[in-house]
Structure 1
Amino acid sequence: MDRNHNGYVTAKELKYFLRLHDARVTNREVKEFIRKLDESGDGQISLHEFMKAFSSQRRSFTTDFRTIRR
């Protein structure tokens, strides 16, 4: 996901990754998802933020994307 290997995932990188895996998401949906994970408020997801979110809330991410799409 981290295409430039800087230790962060931006909205653009996340959208690219999701589209590679046939997920149909809008820019707005991706930005909202980033906002939910971005504890530092820098507009991108660090490896720490990503791992923390996925290890503690695996099931809620499916729900988050469904909620965003509504």
Structure 2
Amino acid sequence: MLASHAHPSSFETAADLASPVAHAAPFAQASEVDSARLLHGQRELLIRHGNEVYRLRHTRNDKLILTK
């Protein structure tokens, strides 16, 4: 007799199945945002990701550096 609910595969956990990200298309096109729009004329931006804070810096050599 087959169970009426699906079990996670060896690559999926119950948390993965509950996450909306788990159901996203595997090759979905990434959104593009201009760095000037993020930085608003500043040289540095702090980005909170969960419990961590990252620093996005615009260098004098016109590069972007993201550090934790």
TM-score range, shorter chain: under 0.3
Provide TM-score, normalisation by structure 1.
0.22
- Highest RCO, 1 vs 2 (Cα 8 Å, sep ≥ 6): 1
More helix by share: 1
TM-score if structure 2 supplies the norm length? Answer: 0.22
Rg (Cα) greater in structure: 2
Higher strand residue share: 2
